[in-house]
Amino acid sequence: MENKIRGRVWRFPDNVDTDQIIPAEYLTTSKPEELAKHVFEKVRPEFAKNVQNGDIIVAGKNFGCGSSREHAPRALLGIGISAVIAESFARIFFRNSINIGLPVIECKIDVEEGDMLEIDFANGRIRDLRTVKEFKFKRMAPFLLELINSGGLVPYVKNKLKCR
Protein backbone atom coordinates (compact mmCIF):
# COMPACT_ATOMS: atom_id res chain seq x y z
CA MET A 1 0.00 0.00 0.00
CA GLU A 2 1.22 3.50 -0.84
CA ASN A 3 1.53 5.89 2.04
CA LYS A 4 -0.42 8.62 0.29
CA ILE A 5 -3.16 8.24 -2.30
CA ARG A 6 -5.37 10.65 -4.19
CA GLY A 7 -8.76 10.04 -5.65
CA ARG A 8 -12.19 11.41 -6.53
CA VAL A 9 -15.11 10.96 -4.16
CA TRP A 10 -18.21 8.85 -4.76
CA ARG A 11 -20.73 9.45 -1.97
CA PHE A 12 -22.90 6.67 -0.60
CA PRO A 13 -25.51 6.66 2.21
CA ASP A 14 -25.82 4.50 5.36
CA ASN A 15 -26.30 0.73 5.22
CA VAL A 16 -24.94 0.01 1.75
CA ASP A 17 -25.24 -3.78 1.67
CA THR A 18 -23.23 -6.32 -0.30
CA ASP A 19 -26.26 -7.15 -2.47
CA GLN A 20 -26.05 -3.55 -3.73
CA ILE A 21 -22.28 -3.70 -4.22
CA ILE A 22 -22.45 -6.92 -6.20
CA PRO A 23 -25.85 -8.60 -6.76
CA ALA A 24 -26.05 -12.31 -5.97
CA GLU A 25 -26.77 -13.29 -9.58
CA TYR A 26 -23.15 -12.51 -10.49
CA LEU A 27 -21.66 -14.67 -7.75
CA THR A 28 -20.93 -17.40 -10.22
CA THR A 29 -17.50 -15.87 -10.74
CA SER A 30 -14.94 -14.59 -8.26
CA LYS A 31 -12.69 -12.75 -10.71
CA PRO A 32 -12.33 -9.06 -9.78
CA GLU A 33 -12.39 -7.91 -13.46
CA GLU A 34 -15.60 -9.84 -14.17
CA LEU A 35 -17.29 -8.73 -10.95
CA ALA A 36 -16.25 -5.14 -11.65
CA LYS A 37 -18.70 -4.90 -14.57
CA HIS A 38 -21.67 -5.23 -12.23
CA VAL A 39 -20.65 -3.08 -9.27
CA PHE A 40 -23.68 -1.17 -7.91
CA GLU A 41 -25.59 -2.20 -11.02
CA LYS A 42 -29.03 -2.18 -9.38
CA VAL A 43 -28.70 1.00 -7.36
CA ARG A 44 -26.28 3.19 -9.36
CA PRO A 45 -25.96 1.88 -12.90
CA GLU A 46 -23.79 4.87 -13.92
CA PHE A 47 -21.13 3.96 -11.36
CA ALA A 48 -19.35 1.18 -13.25
CA LYS A 49 -19.30 3.29 -16.43
CA ASN A 50 -17.85 6.45 -14.93
CA VAL A 51 -15.59 5.28 -12.14
CA GLN A 52 -11.90 6.04 -12.63
CA ASN A 53 -8.91 4.18 -11.35
CA GLY A 54 -8.01 5.46 -7.88
CA ASP A 55 -11.48 6.79 -6.99
CA ILE A 56 -12.56 6.69 -3.35
CA ILE A 57 -15.89 5.68 -1.84
CA VAL A 58 -17.15 7.79 1.05
CA ALA A 59 -20.14 6.37 2.90
CA GLY A 60 -22.20 6.59 6.07
CA LYS A 61 -22.76 3.94 8.70
CA ASN A 62 -22.57 0.17 8.37
CA PHE A 63 -20.99 0.00 4.91
CA GLY A 64 -20.85 -3.52 3.47
CA CYS A 65 -23.56 -5.06 5.64
CA GLY A 66 -25.22 -8.26 4.56
CA SER A 67 -23.59 -11.33 3.13
CA SER A 68 -20.01 -12.42 3.73
CA ARG A 69 -19.22 -12.39 0.02
CA GLU A 70 -15.60 -11.44 -0.46
CA HIS A 71 -16.79 -10.73 -4.00
CA ALA A 72 -17.86 -7.29 -2.72
CA PRO A 73 -14.42 -5.88 -1.82
CA ARG A 74 -12.90 -7.85 -4.70
CA ALA A 75 -15.30 -6.16 -7.12
CA LEU A 76 -14.38 -2.73 -5.71
CA LEU A 77 -10.67 -3.51 -6.04
CA GLY A 78 -11.36 -4.85 -9.54
CA ILE A 79 -12.97 -1.62 -10.67
CA GLY A 80 -10.10 0.47 -9.32
CA ILE A 81 -11.39 1.83 -6.02
CA SER A 82 -8.35 2.76 -3.95
CA ALA A 83 -9.98 3.13 -0.53
CA VAL A 84 -13.34 3.15 1.24
CA ILE A 85 -13.99 5.70 3.97
CA ALA A 86 -17.11 5.17 6.08
CA GLU A 87 -18.50 6.20 9.43
CA SER A 88 -18.58 2.51 10.29
CA PHE A 89 -18.27 -0.82 8.49
CA ALA A 90 -20.01 -4.15 8.77
CA ARG A 91 -17.42 -6.40 10.35
CA ILE A 92 -17.09 -9.12 7.71
CA PHE A 93 -16.69 -6.55 4.95
CA PHE A 94 -14.05 -4.80 7.05
CA ARG A 95 -12.13 -8.06 7.62
CA ASN A 96 -12.42 -9.12 3.99
CA SER A 97 -11.11 -5.79 2.77
CA ILE A 98 -8.06 -5.87 5.01
CA ASN A 99 -7.41 -9.50 4.16
CA ILE A 100 -7.34 -8.80 0.43
CA GLY A 101 -5.53 -5.47 0.74
CA LEU A 102 -8.31 -2.90 0.14
CA PRO A 103 -7.74 0.03 2.54
CA VAL A 104 -10.79 0.76 4.70
CA ILE A 105 -10.89 3.80 6.95
CA GLU A 106 -13.37 4.35 9.72
CA CYS A 107 -13.99 8.10 9.85
CA LYS A 108 -16.90 10.52 9.54
CA ILE A 109 -16.01 13.14 6.94
CA ASP A 110 -17.92 15.94 5.37
CA VAL A 111 -17.05 16.00 1.65
CA GLU A 112 -19.01 16.17 -1.57
CA GLU A 113 -19.36 13.90 -4.56
CA GLY A 114 -16.55 14.61 -7.02
CA ASP A 115 -14.18 16.25 -4.50
CA MET A 116 -10.55 15.24 -4.77
CA LEU A 117 -9.21 13.68 -1.57
CA GLU A 118 -5.71 12.94 -0.40
CA ILE A 119 -5.34 10.18 2.17
CA ASP A 120 -2.18 10.10 4.25
CA PHE A 121 -2.11 6.67 5.85
CA ALA A 122 1.06 7.14 7.84
CA ASN A 123 -0.27 10.19 9.64
CA GLY A 124 -3.96 9.28 9.72
CA ARG A 125 -5.08 12.35 7.76
CA ILE A 126 -7.57 12.95 4.96
CA ARG A 127 -7.51 16.25 3.06
CA ASP A 128 -10.22 17.57 0.73
CA LEU A 129 -8.23 19.38 -1.97
CA ARG A 130 -11.26 21.46 -3.02
CA THR A 131 -12.38 22.77 0.36
CA VAL A 132 -8.96 22.30 2.02
CA LYS A 133 -10.73 20.70 4.99
CA GLU A 134 -8.78 18.14 6.96
CA PHE A 135 -10.02 15.09 8.80
CA LYS A 136 -8.14 12.85 11.19
CA PHE A 137 -8.65 9.14 11.55
CA LYS A 138 -7.48 6.66 14.12
CA ARG A 139 -4.62 4.61 12.77
CA MET A 140 -5.22 0.90 12.57
CA ALA A 141 -3.96 -1.59 15.13
CA PRO A 142 -0.32 -2.46 14.30
CA PHE A 143 -1.20 -6.07 13.45
CA LEU A 144 -3.80 -4.98 10.90
CA LEU A 145 -1.52 -2.34 9.42
CA GLU A 146 1.16 -4.95 9.00
CA LEU A 147 -1.40 -7.24 7.36
CA ILE A 148 -2.44 -4.56 4.82
CA ASN A 149 1.13 -3.49 4.20
CA SER A 150 2.27 -7.02 3.50
CA GLY A 151 -0.51 -7.34 0.89
CA GLY A 152 -3.16 -9.08 2.98
CA LEU A 153 -3.65 -12.46 4.54
CA VAL A 154 -2.15 -14.61 1.75
CA PRO A 155 1.46 -13.42 2.15
CA TYR A 156 0.99 -13.56 5.91
CA VAL A 157 -0.04 -17.22 5.80
CA LYS A 158 2.74 -18.09 3.33
CA ASN A 159 5.21 -16.64 5.74
CA LYS A 160 3.78 -18.64 8.64
CA LEU A 161 3.94 -21.86 6.63
CA LYS A 162 7.58 -21.17 5.79
CA CYS A 163 8.45 -20.75 9.46
CA ARG A 164 7.10 -24.18 10.34
Partner 1 sequence: MPTIAEKILAKKSGKRRVEPGEIIEAEVDYVMVNDVTGLPAFEVFEEFNTKPLKEKIVLIPDHYVPNKDIASAEQAKAMREFARKYKIPNYFEIGTSGICHQIMIERGFVAPGRLIVGADSHSCTYGALGALGTGVGSTEAATVFAIGKLWFKVPETQKFTIEGKLNRYVMGKDIILHIISDIGVSGSLYKVMEFYGSTIEELSLSDRITISNMAVEAGAKAGIIPPDEKVFRYLNGRVKGDYEAIYSDEDANYSEEFEYDAEEIIPVVAEPFLPSNVKPASEVDVKIDQAYLGSCTNGRIEDLRIAAKILKGKKVHRDVRMIVVPASKEVFEEALREGLIEIFLDANAYVSGPTCGACLGGYMGVLARDEVCVSSTNRNFIGRMGHKDSRVYLASPAVVAASAITGRITDPNEL
Interface positions with partner 1 (CB under 8 A): 15, 17, 19-20, 23-25, 27-30, 42-43, 61-62, 65-71, 74, 88, 90-92, 95-96, 99-100, 141, 143-144, 147, 152-154, 157-158, 160-161
User: Pairing relation of β-strands 4-11 and 56-59?
Assistant: parallel
How far is the C-alpha of 16 from the C-alpha of 150, rounded, in Å? 28
Q: Which is nearer to partner 1, 20 or 127 (CB)?
A: 20
Q: Which is nearer to partner 1, 90 or 117 (CB)?
A: 90
How far is the C-alpha of 127 from the C-alpha of 40, rounded, in Å? 26
Min CB(36)–partner 1 separation in Å = 15
User: Pairing relation of β-strands 116-120 and 125-128?
Assistant: antiparallel
Q: Which is nearer to partner 1, 93 or 121 (CB)?
A: 93
SS3 state of residue 35: helix
Min CB(79)–partner 1 separation in Å = 17
Min CB(35)–partner 1 separation in Å = 11
- Buried-exposed string 54-65: b where 16+ CB fall within 10 A, e elsewhere: ebbbbbeebbbb
Q: Which is nearer to partner 1, 19 or 118 (CB)?
A: 19
